[in-house]
Amino acid sequence: MAMSNNRVARFLALSLLCVAAVFLNRLSNLLLFHVMALPLFADSVFTAAVVFLAGLVPGLAVILIAWVFWLMTYGIMSPFIIVSIVEVIIIWRLRPGGGSAGPGSRGTSAYAETVSTWGTLMLLYIATAVSASVLGGLVDYLVYARPESYRPGLPPDDVFRPAFYGSEIHQLAVSILSRVPINLVDRAAVVFGGYFIARGIRGLMDRLPFRRVF
């Protein structure tokens, strides 16, 4: 009975965490891009935090919930979901500590752990920035290259796209390169912000009775 109750508590806690992450991602996107007019996606920091904190499946659940929200809001299936899925897998595979220890786990040496953590985060930052630029540009080129294609809102990468107008660069390269400046900033927030948000949540949970839920 106790084990069953723990599973129910874990499921409810993870469900609440995933829904909260979707809401906070959307809120940060609205505030930074739509209100403050900063050319950032700002829509996956809390997804990364969920992956750092709880693992792959909850991270994918955040993406699925957000995808359903997008479908209900715009009536279309966003093809950029593949970018988010790959990003979550990269973070899950390369995250500091790996396994189930999660952020804030103890190593053999505090100094070695710190160096390893920052090195891993830098690797994650580079990997996610590259994958988001390449995959996002590829999806943009394949799906939205035609003028009649519908793309809700004004994507942040369009801020830098005009710089390539009139050049001989292939449209696919333009779609990728126009995302690079955005992702260099955006993925730094995703990786480092997501990691330290997860550490903060873990630290808080360690002080509360239900710290064993996940």
> Would you state the pLDDT for residue 154?
57
pLDDT tens across the length of the chain (214 residues): 555 667 887 889 899 999 999 999 999 999 998 888 888 888 999 999 999 999 999 999 999 999 998 888 878 788 899 999 999 999 999 998 764 444 544 445 677 788 889 999 999 999 999 999 999 999 988 987 654 455 555 567 677 877 777 778 888 998 899 999 999 999 999 999 999 999 999 888 888 765 556 6
Short-list 91, 83, 85, CA closest to 157: 83
CB 52 within 8 A of CB 21: no
Q: Compute the distance between CA of residue 194 and CA of residue 214 in angstroms, rounded to an integer.
A: 17
- Hey, how many other C-beta atoms are within 10 angstroms of the C-beta on 134? 18
- Hey, how many other C-beta atoms are within 10 angstroms of the C-beta on 10? 15
List, in order, residues 6 or more apart from 122 with CB less than 8 Å away. Answer: none
**3-state helix/strand/coil string of 8-39:** HHHHHHHHHHHHHHHHHHHHHHHHHHHHCCCC
Question: Collapsing DSSP states into helix, strand and coil, what is residue 67?
Answer: helix
CB 197 within 8 A of CB 44: no
> Would you state the pLDDT for residue 153?
52
CATH of the domain spanning 2-205, picked from 1.10.1760, 3.40.1350, 1.10.260, 1.10.10: 1.10.1760
Domain segments of the chain as ranges: 2-205
> Would you state the pLDDT for residue 211?
54
pTM of the model: 0.86
> Would you state the pLDDT for residue 98?
64
Place of tokens 């950029």: 80
Short-list 122, 39, 45, 120, CA closest to 88: 45
